[in-house]
């Protein structure tokens, strides 16, 4: 690989949250284990309920995330990971992912990932620490969203209650 391309890929991988603060040499080790793949629009990367056999870093293009009912629920932009949770937990895929645009990805197989985690304690510790931090951030974001939705629901319930009172008042003739 050309030196300029290698440096660009290193900078990209260093931006991926689970590879934060890992150091250039460890990132190079990970990069050497990755396979570069290109997907055309509507090519499927993974299907819901399939075994998680790899994770990918989107370098360019755009991916769509779809439910089992084939409804698109989100998009994935460059420098984002796909499949990291299933790769680590062994859980099956919880969505189908397809290329929306021509997309270039770096793919790390579960076999290579597991071998790396067993053979390199420094990388293993860093990856799992970063995964823990990422999961905590996602949990906190979800918690905030939950509180916001609960407040909106409460306000809607109050409005509904007021409407019911107005309807009852109209029915009983208390309002002219």
Task: Kindly report, residue by residue over 103-142, the tens digit of the pLDDT.
Answer: 999 999 999 999 999 999 999 999 889 888 888 887 888 8
- Indicate if the pLDDT at residue 176 is higher than 70: no
pLDDT tens per residue across span 157-168: 889 889 888 888
Distance, CA of 47 to CA of 50 (rounded, Å): 6
Q: Which residue has the tokens 């779809």?
A: 66
Distance set, CA 107 to CA 34, 54, 125, 156 (Å) = 5, 7, 21, 46
Which architecture does CATH list for 3-119? Sandwich (2.60)
| pTM metric for this prediction | 0.74
Phi, psi of 158 (to 5 degrees): -65, -45
pLDDT of residue 22: 86
Which residue(s) pair with 56 in the sheet?
A: 82, 107
Ordered by start, the domain boundaries in the chain are 3-119
In the sheet with 96-99, reading across from the earlier edge strand, the strands are 44-46, 96-99, 63-66, 72-76
pLDDT of residue 119: 95
- Indicate if the pLDDT at residue 70 is higher than 80: yes
In the structure, what pLDDT confidence band is assigned to residue 17 with cuts at 50, 70 and 90? confident
Radius of gyration (C-alpha) of the chain in whole angstroms:
23
Q: What is the mean pLDDT of the chain?
A: 89
Which residue(s) pair with 104 in the sheet?
A: 38, 60
pLDDT tens per residue across span 128-138: 898 888 888 87
pLDDT of residue 67: 94
Among candidates 138, 112, 172, which has minimal Cα distance to 17? 138
Among candidates 143, 12, 33, which has minimal Cα distance to 87? 33
pLDDT tens per residue across span 19-46: 888 888 898 899 899 999 999 999 999 9
């Amino acid at each position: 690989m050309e030196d300029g391309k290698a440096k660009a890929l290193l900078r990209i991988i260093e931006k991926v949250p689970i590879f934060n603060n890992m150091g250039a040499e460890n990132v190079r080790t990970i990069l050497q284990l990755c396979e570069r793949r290109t997907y055309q629009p509507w090519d499927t990367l993974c299907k819901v309920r399939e075994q998680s056999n790899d994770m990918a870093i989107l370098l360019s293009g755009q991916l769509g995330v779809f439910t089992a009912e084939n409804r698109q629920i989100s998009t994935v932009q460059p420098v984002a990971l796909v499949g990291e949770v299933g790769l680590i937990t062994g859980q099956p895929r919880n969505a189908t992912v397809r290329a929306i645009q021509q997309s270039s990805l770096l793919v790390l197989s579960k076999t290579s990932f597991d071998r790396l985690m067993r053979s390199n304690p420094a990388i293993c510790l860093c990856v799992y620490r970063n995964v823990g931090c990422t999961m905590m951030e996602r949990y906190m974001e979800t918690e905030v969203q939950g509180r916001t939705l609960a407040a909106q629901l409460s306000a809607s319930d109050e409005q509904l209650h007021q409407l019911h009172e107005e309807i009852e008042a109209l029915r009983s003739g208390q309002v002219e």
